[in-house]
Amino acid sequence: MKGSLVQIARTLPFHGQGGMETHAWELAQALRRRGWEVEILTTSFDDRTFVKDIDGIRVHALRHLPLNRQEVPNWRWWHRFAARVRDYAIAHRIDADVVHSESTYGHALFRALRRRRAPMTRLMTLHGTGLQTYRDTSRRQLLAQVSRWHPRAIGQWLYVKQRAWREARRECPSAQRVVAVSDALAEHLQQDYGLRKERVEVIPNGVDPPLPRDAREAVRLELGIPRDARILLYLGRLEPSKRVDLLIEHLARRPHDRLLVAGAGRDERRLKALADRLPNSAAARFLGPVSHEMKQKLLLAADVFALASEAEGQPITILEALASGTPVYARRPWVPPTLAPLVATGDDVTAGIDAAHEHRERVRDAADLIANEYSWDRIAARYEDAFRHAGFGADKPGTKR
């Protein structure tokens, strides 16, 4: 055994199909394959705390607050999750060589370990920050409704300021090393949060092995996709900031294009109403949440993967599309710099989608290399290096156990 790892992840793919959930589970699985003993502390949706072995990983699910009307954990739970993790880990004497937190939810446990001088290596992966989200999306959305001096706008700014102070002064410093999923996020952490460059490491997201590209025609036939249609694909949450409405508006300008929307969220009703007003209301198909197998089929079958979001960290779906040989349009190049030339970008959605389609041969030529370079096993190996940079194994020539 290489070592033992406790991973703190607010939610997992069993709870929702988000990028952070995928990252938490796939990284844990890859480290397990590489010889690590892995435990995860997460949320229980069963209104009880329980422990269960899932695919060789011991999952501790902590009971959340009562369900709200939407049948999801009350939003206040996320603010208390960090303290619950700390109390649970200490009460149950959970021990490990490395403690890794997805986002800042491990900060309370990290500070407790530091006070106790516990010999555990503490690492935190960030997919974004409160300040970054405010600058990129939240502020713009609110100011579209009220003036900058409106009490709601002032209250939002004060909340973000307080949260940014907490992240910069209390949460990030609790870890020995912080992993940013993109160069832009790393630069933000250094400039705005004051983290020293040597404490920040950039490790991108990873991808699962894609389906073989020679199965594309068979998959398109299975999904009932017309031969002459150009298929656009969106995968992700249906939230206003994702700007799926721009993809629907694009369909009116390109009548032969078809849009497949896989995901769910609070913007779904509005988006379906927009699609119903198209000249061809069948041009957009809403598939709801899809399985991992179906996601891989959709990525293979699509002609362009389209992401018109206002802001992102580093979407796993972009890497998955490129690894499948599918061209990508994104509002900004939310990929590692070496892959940026393969992604069509810009605010003009129609021009971006057309440009992405022109990249199809270049993307297909690079697909195998991308799938190999960004495999979860490769990403896990980079995390092992980050563990060592943070102090794992420094006190002994071998592992602690």
Q: Domain locations in the chain? A: 3-206+376-389, 213-373
Residues 367, 213: contact at Cβ < 8 Å? yes
Nearest alpha-carbon partner for 231 in 298, 161, 155: 298
What average pLDDT does the segment 179-202 reach? 95
Residue 217 corresponds to which tokens in the numbers above?
């025609």
- For 204-257, the pLDDT digits (tens) are 999 999 999 999 999 999 988 888 889 999 999 898 889 999 999 999 999 999
73-122 per-position pLDDT tens digit: 666 678 889 999 999 999 999 999 999 999 999 999 999 999 988 899 99
CATH code linked to domain 213-373: 3.40.50.2000
pTM: 0.89
Q: What kind of fold does domain 3-206+376-389 have according to CATH?
A: Rossmann fold (3.40.50)
Q: What is the pLDDT of residue 398?
A: 44
Question: Considering only CA atoms, which of 375, 216, 235 is closest in space to residue 318?
Answer: 235
| Beta-strand runs (E) in 116-246 | 121-126, 177-180, 200-202, 230-235
Query: One fold for both 3-206+376-389 and 213-373?
Result: yes
Q: What confidence tens digit (pLDDT) does each residue in 290-333 have? A: 998 999 999 999 999 999 998 888 899 999 999 999 999 999 98
> What residues have CB less than 8 Å from 174, skipping those under 6 apart?
106, 107, 110, 111, 114, 122, 124
- Residue 397 is predicted with a pLDDT of 45
Q: What is the pLDDT of residues 33-59, one digit of tens each?
A: 999 999 999 999 888 899 999 999 999
pLDDT at 66: 66
